[in-house]
Amino acid sequence: MPGRLQEELKQRRPFELPEEALLNVVRTADALHQRVAQVLKPFGLTEAQYNALRILRGAGEEGRTCKEISDRMIKRDPDVTRMLDRLVTRKLVRRERDSSDRRVVRSHITTDGKALLHRADPAIRNMHKELTEAVNPASLRSLIETLEALRQ
């Protein structure tokens, strides 16, 4: 009997177990990214922009350099500088040269950026709740452990 992924992909031959497991991770990640994109679209944000704004909100008055933001991103973005440029243009982020080292540029979230996150955060939280409500907490913990083991 074919597995669900096999049916979704219209695959004739069965997958080997490791292949099926990892393809399921990739397929699920893609579905989640699409869902996040849908939720963020009304706010005019991409997933990467939302992530960067959250990083900057968490940085407080200290702000973050482009490298620091890149290191903290959930999903790697090869061009964080250009993404930040777009957020600066929208007045969601501002940049300042470091007073002790003029070569260092720090990004800071603006009041408008915080306000946008304040409106977007509940939509993301609701999506998380909807997606996980059918899964018990023990299974979620097990999933986290399994995914962390795969990333090792």
Q: How many helices (H) and strands (E) does the chain have?
A: 7, 3
Angle at 128 (CA atoms; ends 83, 58), nearest 5 degrees: 45
Residues 44-97 pLDDT 10s: 999 999 999 999 999 999 999 999 999 999 988 889 999 999 999 999 999 999
Alpha helices (H) along the chain: 4-8, 17-40, 47-59, 66-72, 80-89, 111-132, 137-151
- Provide, rounded to the nearest whole percent, the portion of the chain with pLDDT above 70: 99
Distance CA 147, CA 101 (A): 40
pLDDT, greater one: 76 or 136: 136
pLDDT, greater one: 104 or 113: 113
pLDDT of 111 over the 80 cut: yes
**Buried b / exposed e along 73-98 (16+ C-beta atoms within 10 A):** eeeebeebeebbeebeeeebbbeeee
